[in-house]
Structure 1
Amino acid sequence: MNILRIAGKELKVFRDIKMLLFMLATPVLLMLILGTALSGNFHGTVKVDPIRVLYSYDSTSSAVGKQWEAFLLEAKASGIRFEEVTNRTETDVEREVQNGLYTGYVRIVDDGISYYGNSGNGMENGIVQGLLAAQADRYRLTIAETDLPTPDGNYVTEASVDAVRQPGGLDYFAVAVTTMIILYSALTAGQLIETERSRHTDLRLLASPITKGEIFAGKIVGTLVLNAIFVAITVLLSKYMFGANWGEHLWLVFLVLLTEIVLALSLGLGVGYCLKGNAAGSVLMIVIQAAAFVGGAYTPVDQTTGMMNSLSRYSPLHWSNDAILQIIYAGNLMAAPPAMMLNLGCSILLLALAIVLMRRREGL
């Protein structure tokens, strides 16, 4: 009961209409400005680094061999280097792909082509997948010519698939700005306890029949609910005001956003207990800005290269954005659990740190 009372106190911000409008108007305006100003980044040309791909050939078919040799010549002319695997196990090859030394690994067998790609190199990975898909389709048509005709007398049956949808400017920044604004809630969380100290209300709370744990839990629950409501309203405004695409699985997208809210609050509390006053706010601002800059808040991660691309993997914005975009545009629901587990895993560590530091103090 005490936890709910403290949580209700944190929700009283809804009484402040000016603060409410500010918190809602800021992300909506950012979406509109960035989505309009940088929309050209989603339809222009982008320079890519030389693409290197490993492959192993394990097919006994002469027809497949001829097709593959011809494909290698075409790929080389296009600037894509296919290097055959020698003296390396598949585990070693996959590790090299994960570390970004190669864009992907192709294995050619009698049954077809299998491909293992590095999702961190999104654009190069997409180019290789497109070429391999075309090659696999060409191989299928060649083999079909030697088969018996189908009942309607045709030797070849055509099949086509829709291209993977891509987000436009407003679509992308609706997601990126939402996740960035969530991370900024760490600043508010960092001041949850500091505000009580500055007002000297921490002593009154400790003198009341309430434990430190109830105060801590109540503030987390209240702030979590408050931020979840703001995020839900922001998502709905971007969806119905700007027509931003949030996909057909909005509930799963919101679950990913909810775990990021937990991470942001945990980050604020953890840093708030480690540092006091303005120092905590300064450190949080640096961390948030760095995570936003490398995590794709201002430009898609796929358009960055080198160190920037490598650093993006350590930003919660990157793995949250990537999971949400895969859910929306690729229908890949399995992209959500890894991002949610990363968010919750980091949250547990930060909350544990905050709890340990809180117990060591006499006050809050």
Structure 2
Amino acid sequence: MQMRSWKVTDFGKPLEMIQQEIPEPTGTEVLVKVTRCGVCHSDLHIGDGYFDLGSAGRLNMGDRGVPLPHVLGHEILGEVVKGGPDAGAVPAGETKLIHPWIGCGECSICKAGQENHCAKPRTLGVYRDGGYQEYILVPHPMFLVDIGNVDPTDATPFACSGVTVYSAIKKALPVHDDEWLVIMGAGGLGLAAVSIAHAMGVKQVLSCDIDDNKLAAAKEMGATATLNISGDDAAKKLADATGGGPRAVVDTVGANPTAKLGYFSLVKGGRYVIVGLYGGDFTVPLPTLPLRAASMIGSYVGSLKELKELMELVKAGKVKQVPIETRPMDQVQNTLDDLRAGKIVGRVVLTN
């Protein structure tokens, strides 16, 4: 039997729909019928074939071991079909969210439960084929995550956007009740961060963006306040809005303007946590790091343990869902184009 896959066949070119045989699981692999896959901004970078490093040039995905042709998509949910001969009993017929941030499984980092930091990653949608297809092989049943009674469409983005900001906010904490957490960006990641921050007990959350429509969505998600940071007076407006500066900033954009504004806005001892991958660079005067006791922290997605922790909050009804639009899987290229053009508020989940 055959299935459809939408593949990058050449970096920077539109995806191609390719018919191929449904794979057979071997070893500990599990075959899952993909019913939903979220669309993430990092898919644009991977499809383009590089990340923008500013003055340092480009980080080329081909040099990083991303194969071609390749299936993107790492926010994956589907129905378990069967396991390989070494997979043991698998929950055939059940719908599971898939943790895509998979490591080698053998190194000390993986054994410590930080497989998302593994130096030999096997990430679905990055180094192994992802979810923009009708079936997928998951390396081990341990990466199948229970969603309880959560609507499958709602659950899908938590595999990336959700767990990414959950892990970042953990690094940004503690933020006391009289202090502010700033979320840079009100796209899919930023909206999820607002909701999850509240679920984690943060009292004062300021959402910053240059798009008033996205800021309105952030307010709906529960942002204590919003701030349009376009214009030359953004630093003053941010300081005024937070009473002198935030305790922590989570930057879901990762561009030069948000990085500079976020880092330099911090109060003494503050923490700037970056998860966005838009690209570029900025200069930090080195004496300001110790003089301000400031921390600059990179946060890369999240671990399996963190995804399970997050899903417990979701199943308990503590996380407000970001706006989600569903589209058929064969609209994946149009959806990526819309995402690049900034036309999407919240997330798009593709369905098979």
| Common fold by TM > 0.5 | no
Between 1 and 2, higher relative CO (CA 8 Å, sep ≥ 6) is seen in: 1
Greater CA radius of gyration, 1 or 2?
A: 1
TM bracket (short chain): under 0.3
> Taking structure 1 as the reference length, what is the TM-score of the superposition?
0.23
If each structure's helix is expressed as a fraction of its own residues, which one has the higher value?
1
Structure richer in strand, relative to its length: 2
